[in-house]
Amino acid sequence: MRTVMALLLGAWLLGTLLVAGVAAENFFLIDRLLNSPSHPVFQKDVAQLSPEEARPMLRYLSSELNRYYFQVWGWIEAALGVALWALAVWGLKQRKVIIGFSMMLAAVAVMTFYITPEIVEVGRSLDFVPRQPPPPALARFGLLHAAYTLVDLGKLLVGVWMAVALVRLRPEEAGKRRR
């Protein structure tokens, strides 16, 4: 039981870090592609656009990819969270583990059903909008992004706490309800 839970939790924590890294890298890659030699066909095609056209087009592509990744990852997290919560409730029966997975699942629910859809909607309203002067929706986007990051970081920290709790759990405690 603990081994399965540890594997699922490890996948969840690793996925969280990977999605965050990929999302950030998608935007850094744009400038690297535009400012350094890359595939000759790409360079030839992108040279047909002005820098004021090429960068927004590539940012739009990165934004759409990130939107997709975060939406799909939210559902994957929900599945992992429900599975871990169910294993904790009906199998492990350890209060702190149940509470921890409940907290993680609550964070995923907030991110998946509120923050991510709002980020997608506000983000799409900002696509191809000039940044000078900053559009009013940019501040809301920043707040939503910060909220997502904080909730995700909290979820990640609780996940590390859960990993430690699973490792420290004595075999004879697995299956006994603790108060």
**What's the burial of 53, exposed, middle or buried (CB within 10 Å: 0-12/13-18/19+)?**
exposed
* pLDDT at res. 179: 46
CA 176 to chain centre: 34
* pLDDT at res. 147: 98
Residue 178 forms part of a structural domain: no
| Segments forming the whole domain that contains residue 134 | 2-173
Residue 29 forms part of a structural domain: yes
Residue type, 61: L
Is the bond preceding residue 56 a cis peptide, omega within 30 degrees? no
* pLDDT at res. 172: 64
Residue 17 forms part of a structural domain: yes
Q: Structural domain tally of the chain?
A: 1
For residue 30, what are the contacts with CB-CB under 8 A and spacing of at least 6?
55, 58, 59, 62
Residue 93 forms part of a structural domain: yes
DSSP code at position 112: I
Residue 179 forms part of a structural domain: no
* pLDDT at res. 58: 94
* pLDDT at res. 52: 83
Distances (CA, A) of 41 to 37, 45, 54, 58, 150: 11, 6, 14, 16, 41
Residue 99 forms part of a structural domain: yes
Residue 54 forms part of a structural domain: yes
* pLDDT at res. 66: 97
* pLDDT at res. 178: 46
Q: Which among 28, 85, 34, 107 is positioned nearest to 62, based on CA atoms?
A: 28
Q: What is the pLDDT of residues 15-58, one digit of tens each?
A: 999 999 999 999 999 989 988 878 899 989 988 998 789 999 99
Q: Which residues of the chain have pLDDT under 70?
A: 172-179
Residue 124 forms part of a structural domain: yes
